[in-house]
Amino acid sequence: MTAPQVLAGRGLTFQYQGAQSPLFSDLDIHVQRGEIIAVLGPSGVGKSSLLRVLGGLQAPARGEVTLDGEPLLAPHPRVAIAFQDPSLLPWLTLEKNVAFGLDFKRQPRRDKAERAALVDEALREVGLSDFRRAYPSELSGGMSQRAALARCLARRPEVLLLDEPFGALDEVTRREMQALLLQIVADYDTAALLITHDIDEALAVADRIVLLGGAPASAIGQWDVRVAQPRADAIEELGQMRIEILQALRGAVRRPRKDIQTCALTASLAVAC
């Protein structure tokens, strides 16, 4: 049996209400168990929107998202999403924030002791055990991001959807968190989709890199990173790929600029008429 596609989006087209054109169209993306997919793309291309569609928070105009082959029409308890913004609830302590949702009706049944153990472990994994009674307003940006990650991890999800989760972290902590992500994916056979704007982060953790670009956006490039972890010594092998991705990314960023030029041209013609 080939590795099952845990979460897959096929022919996804998505458009915001009131928008002129689709944000992305005919996009195919999938992630398998034990695999990390990095989604790269210029800012504003629709990465966060794609994540929400894959998580069942927003419905695509066309195409479908499936979880283990079953259509996914609403957020699923087996899928955890870490948003670009930590979204911690200000009236709960860190501990209660991490536990938030564990006792929801649609989540797997767990008794109080089990929930406490999961929260403890998640806090330990992100290194925030000492801050369990702190309120979100007392945490730094990086700590908040780690807390949001802990809230996802506590649920032991089969699919992790992460929207630039390490963006606000310093270099050292970022490396630690990347290592933690690799550890979790390996330990629990999780499928992880990581949105990032950092090529080096993608090269450091991903098994596959998907580059989004164009308007409407689609996957304009895909790279399999067949380099074993840890990758610290594989700089040379990764260097070539890095250049390729950078070139493709530059092309992707340049494209909208052309659009703007055409717009300006049409506008001046309209005035001339």
Partner 1 sequence: MTAATQVVSSALGSATSRSLDAGLKRAALGSLGVGLLFVGWWLVTDYSAAQGSFLARFSLARTMSALAGLLADSSFWNHVGVSLQRVAVGLGLATLVGAPLGVAVGLSKTLEAATTPAFQLLRMISPLSWMPIAVMAFGVGDRPVYFLLAFAAVWPIVLNTAAGVRGLDRRYLQLASSLAATRWETVRRVVAPGIVAHVLTGVRLSIGVSWIILVPCEMLGVTAGLGYFILDARDRLAYPELMATIIVIGALGYMLDGAARGLQNRWARQN
Tokens (6 digits) for 213 = 């670009």
- The listed partner (partner 1, Mg ion, ligand ADP, none) that binds 183, CB under 5 to 8 Å by sort, is none
Cα 247 from Cα 79, distance rounded (Å): 33
- Select from 47-55, 93-101, 227-235, 246-254 the region that touches ligand ADP (CB under 6 A): 47-55
83 binding partner (options Mg ion, partner 1, ligand ADP, none; Cβ < 5 to 8 Å by kind): partner 1
| Nearest residue (CB) to Mg ion, 96 versus 197 | 197
Handedness of CA 179, 211, 255, 26 (dihedral sign): negative
Say if residues 216 and 61 touch (Cβ distance below 8 Å).
Answer: no
122 with 160: CB under 8 angstroms? no
Nearer to partner 1, 70 or 171 (CB): 70
Does residue 16 touch ligand ADP according to CB under 6 A? yes
Smallest gap from residue 238 Cβ to ligand ADP (A): 24
Integer Cα distance of 270 and 247 in angstroms? 35
- Residue 13 buriedness (CB in 10 A; 0-12 / 13-18 / 19+): middle
23 is in the binding site of which of partner 1, ligand ADP, Mg ion, none (Cβ under 5 to 8 A by kind)? ligand ADP
Assess 60 for contact with ligand ADP (CB under 6 A): no
Q: Shortest approach of ligand ADP to residue 234 CB, angstroms?
A: 28
Positions in the binding site for Mg ion (CB under 5 A): 48, 84
